[in-house]
Structure 1
Amino acid sequence: MTKTKRKPSDDEVYNRIWSAIMERKLQPGTRLKEEDLCEVFETSRGGIRKVLQRLAHHNLINLVPNSGAYVAKATVKEAREVFQARRLIETELVRELVRTFTPAKRQALEEHVALEEQAHRDGDLNRRIRLSGEFHLKIGELADKQVLTHFLREIVSRTSLIIAQYQLASARHAEETAAHPCCEHRGLIEAFEKRDADGAISLMMEHLCHLEEQLDLASGINGAIDLKSIFS
């Protein structure tokens, strides 16, 4: 008997698209055609529209009347505000995690960094980029700050779009060829272990400044992406 293929849930479709944004596979300005998404995910147009509305609510896509859905672009002002917001939120998350740090929480962070390093060894830059962003969300989860982590999830996703839009070519090359791409994350873990709040906050601010310095906020790129090649 032939098994009927299960249709993905709305959450699964959302998470697939969210991951593609995090991995910078979807470039800012890419059109997300409903019919293509229906074919790729083998689901209904109604389900796709719900997912697109949810992505728009989280500022990851723009819904343009009589035109369609497009992966969001950020203005220079918005890009700077996103990094400003990250500094404010992540300072509080780091401070709280230092206060409540335990061996179990260290293990959770170590296991996550190990996944980042494995992605690097595998040559899977897209997966490593996504895992790098998720490391910051892991800090929020371990700090048990659900509201701040919810806000950070949206902002981290928008950071991926901003980097895809504005990253300098030299910074992109450095990211692709980095010998030790997770050293800043490991430094944070050591600061947590030492219960060094000031040191951990300083490292996080340096880390975020390093990301922002990779950007050329005087220009940007537009990408034309084949959705089937991303989600197949």
Structure 2
Amino acid sequence: MNNKTNKNNEESIYDQILGAIFERKLLPGTRLKEEELCDIFGISRGKIRKVLHRLALENLVETIPNSGSFIAKPSIKESKEVFQARLIIESELIRELAQQFTPEKRAVLEEHLTREQSAHNAGNHNLRIRLSGEYHLLIGKLLDKTVLTELLRGIISRTSLIIALYERQKSNSGHLATEPCHDHQALINALDEGDADKAVALMRTHLLDIQNMLNLDPPPEESVNIKNIFTGQ
């Protein structure tokens, strides 16, 4: 019972659903049935609805009247805005961190990077993805930027949905699984040098590389020949 108690408060359920989104276990369009969630977590429907409402406010869940709640499916326009927001927020955060970097902060990032690499070496792709996102959140946490970190948490979760929807080719997924470790190490080195401009440039390149692996171009418009449709000519 104690085990269940630790897992059935609203904050814990929110974290578990968020984690599943981070790890791409809950894919865009997945239906979240209230009754099933109540049974899984052993709580009332009222509490589940509060969690779903919170996720909806963060644009991670879409609630459709008379249909239920679904993991959001960001549009191409929304996806581009998400990356624009990340570029703006994370560029400023990394610049500030470079100006305040200490050996203690480096140790925190290095320890996290070790966990990322271990997950990759073990072939735990989902955990690897989650830890990659959490690396970016650590930057805000090390600066004690609570509001920006919480804002970034929702944005990074939406990035996971965007990648699941718009990744160009499954053959490219290896790039997503490997490159961030290298990029994250390069960021640590730039921070350690106190080179804010270099750190910002690396962060922007890192985020743009991820965006470039996605197909965010709208499909070309095709002219429709009405005559052919109905005459078969």
What is the TM-score when the length of structure 2 is the normalising length? 0.88
Show the counterpart of 2:55.
Answer: 55
Q: Which secondary structure state, in structure 1, belongs to the residue aligned with residue 26 of structure 2? A: coil
* Superimposed CA distance per residue, residues 50-100 of structure 1 (whole angstroms, 9 cap, x where no aligned partner): 110111111110111111000011111110010001000001100110111
Q: In the TM superposition, what is the alpha-carbon distance from 1:154 to its structure 2 partner?
A: 1.0
* Superimposed CA distance per residue, residues 2-53 of structure 1 (whole angstroms, 9 cap, x where no aligned partner): 9795261111110000000001111111111111111221222111111101
Q: Which secondary structure state, in structure 1, belongs to the residue aligned with residue 123 of structure 2? A: coil
CA contact (8 A) 2:94 2:199 kept: yes
Verify: 1:212 aligned to 2:211, yes or no: yes
- The whole-number CA distance in structure 1 between the counterparts of 2:17 and 2:136 is 19
Q: Which secondary structure state, in structure 2, belongs to the residue aligned with residue 74 of structure 1? A: coil
Runs of 5+ consecutive residues of structure 1 not aligned to the other structure: 221-232
Write out the 4+ residue segments of structure 1 that deviate beyond 3 Å after TM superposition. 2-5, 173-176
**RMSD over equivalenced CA pairs, Å:** 1.8
For residue 107 of structure 1, what is the amino acid of its counterpart? Answer: A
User: What are the residue-to-residue correspondences of 1:82-231 with 2, within 5 Å?
Assistant: 82-169=82-169, 170-176=171-177, 178=178, 181-218=180-217
User: What are the residue-to-residue correspondences of 1:57-76 with 2, within 5 Å?
Assistant: 57-76=57-76
For residue 16 of structure 2, what is the amino acid of its counterpart? Answer: R
Q: Which has the higher contact order (CA 8 A, sep 6+)?
A: 1
- The whole-number CA distance in structure 2 between the counterparts of 1:174 and 1:87 is 20
CA contact (8 A) 1:120 1:128 kept: yes
Q: In the TM superposition, what is the alpha-carbon distance from 1:174 to its structure 2 partner?
A: 3.3
CA contact (8 A) 2:56 2:63 kept: yes
Number of residue equivalences = 217
- The whole-number CA distance in structure 2 between the counterparts of 1:31 and 1:172 is 25
Q: Which secondary structure state, in structure 2, belongs to the residue aligned with residue 182 of structure 1? A: helix
Q: Which secondary structure state, in structure 1, belongs to the residue aligned with residue 73 of structure 2? A: coil
Identity %: 53
What is the TM-score when the length of structure 1 is the normalising length? 0.89
- The whole-number CA distance in structure 1 between the counterparts of 2:26 and 2:156 is 15
Q: In the TM superposition, what is the alpha-carbon distance from 1:200 to its structure 2 partner?
A: 0.3
- The whole-number CA distance in structure 1 between the counterparts of 2:2 and 2:196 is 54
* Superimposed CA distance per residue, residues 196-218 of structure 1 (whole angstroms, 9 cap, x where no aligned partner): 00100000001001110110124
